[in-house]
Every structure is written in C-alpha cells, then in structure tokens.
Structure 1
C-alpha cells in the first residue's frame, strides 16, 4: 500500500520501473500509469486489467542491411553537422586527472579495446542517394585517434579547449578523439571528445567504466575479460525503425506520434516575447548558467505539494516555471523543452 513517490521515487526511477515491468510482462506499461497507480496494489490491479501484451518487438541483434539507417536522433544531429560542419556545439568533452605511475602503452591499448567494443565509436555516416547511413569501420582501421604530448600546466587549458572545439566531419571521420597530456612526472590528464551523433551525457559513465576496466587488465598484460554487448547501436536503429513503422502507414506508431505533436504544437509562437532590457540576437549558441538556492521551507513545501498530487518535485518546479513565463509574457501558450536520455528500454 506504500506510495512509490512517498518512499522517494522520482521520474527517473519511475522510468526504470515501467521499463522493467514492460520487459518482464511483455506488455506496454506507460509512464503515466505509475503516477496514477503508485502503490504495488494499485499497479498490479492496473496490470491485470489493462496491460496490452506484445507491446513491441524485442531489442535484439538484427540482420544488417547493406545500408544501415540512422536513428531519428542521429538524423537530426547529422543534418546539423552538415549544415554547419565547423561548429563544435555538439562535441561532448571530458577530462580526468591521473596521478601516479602511468603505463602509457596500457592506456593506449585500453582505448583501442573500448573503441573495438563499441561499434558506435568507430562508425561514420556517409551520404548516399537514399540519404545518410551507418558504416562501421573495422577496429584495426581506426588510427590516429589518440594524441600524446607533454605540456606545461599553463598550456593545458589552451590545449584542452582546442581539442574540445575542433570540428568533426561525421561523414568521413570516426566521432571520437582522445589525448593524453603529461603535465609533470606521474601527473597526466586524459581528455576525450565524443560527437553527439554517437553518445550523450549518459554515455560518459559506462565509457569511463569500460576504459578503466580495460586499462586495469592491460597493466597486467591481459586483454579485458568482458562479454560482448548484447546489442550495438546499429541494432537499436533497426529496432527503432521496426517499432515506429513508416509515416506512409496511417496506423503506425510514427504516424500517431507525428499527428499528436503537430496538433499539440500547432500555432505555437516562434519566440516567447518576454520583457527585457535589451534585444537578444537571433542565434548565438552562447549561454550562461545562473545558480541560486531554494531555501529549506520552500523545498519542503514543494515536496509536500508534489506528494499531495502524486507528482514529483521536478513537476512542481516545472509548473511554477510555466506559470512564471505565462504571466511575464501575457500568453498561456507555453512550451518548455526538457532534455531526456530517451532510454525507455533496458
């Protein structure tokens, strides 16, 4: 009888719950259900009466066609890369300091191990008469991806910035580069830059884990003893196409989703007119983070309001933000974008 959200559940955990339920029961369990039936008893009642079996095809390795299509997310990133191939705004950089004795040969081997393990790190996206497609490059042919150099601490920031902002041409080059900078004896910085066409923010943690696993093995003179991934990203793209269907089919999931969003966003103003002390430029790709603190009483009140309405604190703050924008703009047609990882399946 306990409420999922009262026990500390949030929308991220709810995503995991409905994902695991969908797989375990081979049924489609929408996220909304957990908010409307947020106890085990209520959820089981809904599952018994309303769950639809055979929700979608299983995500398993697929037979690869001659031209592997891009996922819909990749299509958007590919178009933006071709529209402005010199822009670094879809580069994902990260860097870690490493103190102690460095086995450079082992690290370089570990990077090669990870690139070999994940096809998406060695995939290029050339264009053909039918549009862009994926070409997985053999690991042995991926070369020149790792730079090694000695730099001073004063030079480090400049080198990292240069590396992070260098362009990727996703039609001809693999979407990853790495460098190992030695700043002093037993002091190094490992920098990695990924293009968004092959990764996102949630990809960094598993990438780092695999890299450390491989490095540890290589320092002992062994290749990493890991099992191959269950599926590769190319398998996912083929699965996604099968799941969503064609926009030529009026009954396909893709058509239904497109119809929903065209209706929902119909008439949306191109720009929300907000009062300001200056006129912003049209496009800058520049931004700034403003940090502030919500005091304890306000946070407790938001949490209590969320509990009363079977919601999350995020949803309360999202609603408050929408109301603020509506009042300051004088319109009720408010659209707020929220980044999500899009991982609805395990």
Structure 2
C-alpha cells in the first residue's frame, strides 16, 4: 500500500540503495538515499520526486576484453590489507548450511562449476604488475568439493558427530592465496542419518575472500545455487564486476568523485 512504511515491511539500507537505483533507472530521477529514510512511504516519496529534476540514467557499459583489469576502490583496500598479513582469515567470508534429506554430491559439485563459469569474480586472481594491483580473469579454474564423512556409532554418536562436525568447520576456514583462483572453496560434511525422521544430514560449507564477494553476493550465490540444483535455467548476466571496476576509472565517475572530494575538503576546511 502507498501508506506502508518501507522499513517496517522489511526494507533496510541495502534495499533502499537498490530502490533508489531502480527509481533512477525507470523514471530518470536521481533520488537521494536520505529521502527514502525521511519519506519512507510511496505517498511521501511521490511528493519528494515531484520536486526532482530529470537526469538521464546511464547504465554501466560492458568493457572491452583485456588481459587484465583494474581493481575497484573496495578491492584495492582489501588487497592492501591482505599484504599486511597474508595468513589472516579476518576477511574470509565463511557460511555453513545444514541440509536435511537426500543430497546428490556430484550434482552439488556440477552446480558450483556452473556458478564459477557464470561469475567472473569466481575465476579472478590478483597480483602486482608494475607496482599496481590488477585482476586477471581465467577462462577455467581447478575446482572440486572437499568431501568428508563423519563415521561414529554407539549411544554417544550424536554428541561425537556434533564435535567432529565443529572441528571440520574450523579446519575448513583457512587463508586464501590471492594469486590463485578461485577464491572460493566448498566443503561437504556427510553426517549420516540422524534425527527423529532418520534423514540424511549434510553440512554445506562455503568460504570466499571478501575481495571477490560481500554479504549481498553471498545471498545471490545461495539463491542461484538452489535454483540451479533444482534444474532451473538462469538468464545471462549483462555485466560482470570487472565492468564496474573499469567504470569506476571512467571520466564520468572521476568527475563525480572530484565533486565529492571538493565537498569534503570544504566541509572540513577548518
């Protein structure tokens, strides 16, 4: 409804950013993010937008094929942080999903191979060229699911399975070498048949480096994994992250950055 509050029905800052982008794309009106917080209903936003000038929406273009690509600002920060301590796992992004019911291990591996082929970030490695970090996108990368099976029997089996599963999860998270793609690893722990319904149980473990992923990306990956595992076909992607990284270096974006710089220099001039 037009009077419902965006944030009371599940909206948050990331969704507000997406909403502002879609409004700009559909209506050619660049809505400041602040406006969504100040006018969180459709009725209020409509009034705000009446006073906005039209500014043409420009999509991020697909960049030409290159041997390597620049890093985005966020990737540069993470690359530098990684150089301080390459054995640090603070910027690993692990997650563990419990899967109840039958699971086709080979199909899991095939689906992740499809995801790696679909997303260039999952085939990306990083290294220095002439003292500047760049990203290289491989056509193919080696990948296999790390499969282990927990085998315990007896009255204390459930407790021992839980302890061993925790140990497997802790061992799974380890440093990444940014020069070797993919910066993704997948593990599957077979816990055997458990629970009152006596169903097969598995732990599906994912770990990615933050330089190729973030919280939103993990949500996309999980969603696409489920859809591909179910046999669904995904529509092709128009752009990849490398296109965004190149766009960040473009003249139009640099002009915007210079305006931002001027604003902050003025704000803190004292």
Same fold (TM > 0.5): yes
The reply on whether 1:254 has 2:257 as its aligned counterpart is yes
CA–CA distance in 2 between the matches of 1:121 and 1:16?
Answer: 23
What SS does structure 2 have at the residue aligned with 1:171?
coil
Picking from 235, 238, 247, the partner of 1:239 is 247
- Structure 1 unpaired stretches of 5+: 218-223, 247-251, 268-346
Contact 2:127–2:179 under 8 Å retained in 1: yes
CA–CA distance in 2 between the matches of 1:100 and 1:168?
Answer: 32
Judged with a 3 Å threshold, the aligned counterparts in structure 2 of structure 1 residues 213 and 5 are, in CA distance, closer, same or farther, namely closer
Contact 1:81–1:169 under 8 Å retained in 2: no
What SS does structure 2 have at the residue aligned with 1:126?
strand
Picking from 167, 186, 192, the partner of 1:158 is 167
Corresponding residue number in structure 2 for 1:147: 146
Picking from 200, 204, 207, the partner of 2:221 is 207
CA–CA distance in 1 between the matches of 2:189 and 2:269?
Answer: 51
Deviation readout 1:256-290 (Å, 9 max, x if unpaired): 223434555678xxxxxxxxxxxxxxxxxxxxxxx
What SS does structure 1 have at the residue aligned with 2:250?
helix
Contact 1:125–1:132 under 8 Å retained in 2: yes
Name the stretch that deviates more: 129-138 or 252-261: 252-261
TM-score (structure 1 length as normaliser): 0.64
What SS does structure 2 have at the residue aligned with 1:134?
strand
- Structure 2 unpaired stretches of 5+: 152-160, 194-199
What SS does structure 2 have at the residue aligned with 1:113?
helix
Corresponding residue number in structure 1 for 2:100: 99
Name the stretch that deviates more: 92-101 or 29-38: 29-38
Q: CA deviation at 1:244?
A: 5.7
TM-score (structure 2 length as normaliser): 0.80
Corresponding residue number in structure 2 for 1:190: 204
Judged with a 3 Å threshold, the aligned counterparts in structure 2 of structure 1 residues 158 and 264 are, in CA distance, closer, same or farther, namely farther
CA–CA distance in 2 between the matches of 1:226 and 1:50?
Answer: 36
Corresponding residue number in structure 2 for 1:71: 72
Alignment of 1:300-319 (within 5 A): none
CA–CA distance in 1 between the matches of 2:7 and 2:83?
Answer: 47
Q: CA deviation at 1:77?
A: 0.7
The reply on whether 1:29 has 2:31 as its aligned counterpart is yes
CA–CA distance in 2 between the matches of 1:256 and 1:214?
Answer: 43
CA–CA distance in 1 between the matches of 2:215 and 2:205?
Answer: 15
Name the stretch that deviates more: 117-126 or 181-190: 181-190
Judged with a 3 Å threshold, the aligned counterparts in structure 2 of structure 1 residues 265 and 101 are, in CA distance, closer, same or farther, namely farther
Judged with a 3 Å threshold, the aligned counterparts in structure 2 of structure 1 residues 42 and 160 are, in CA distance, closer, same or farther, namely closer
Contact 2:123–2:139 under 8 Å retained in 1: yes
CA–CA distance in 2 between the matches of 1:182 and 1:147?
Answer: 11
**What is the alpha-carbon root mean square deviation over aligned residues?**
2.9
CA–CA distance in 2 between the matches of 1:35 and 1:29?
Answer: 11
Deviation readout 1:98-128 (Å, 9 max, x if unpaired): 2222211111111111111111111111210
Contact 1:179–1:190 under 8 Å retained in 2: yes
Contact 1:145–1:176 under 8 Å retained in 2: no
Q: Which has the higher strand share?
A: 2
Q: CA deviation at 1:38?
A: 5.7
Q: CA deviation at 1:182?
A: 1.4
> How many residues were matched structurally?
252
The reply on whether 1:168 has 2:167 as its aligned counterpart is no
What SS does structure 2 have at the residue aligned with 1:230?
coil
What SS does structure 1 have at the residue aligned with 2:86?
coil
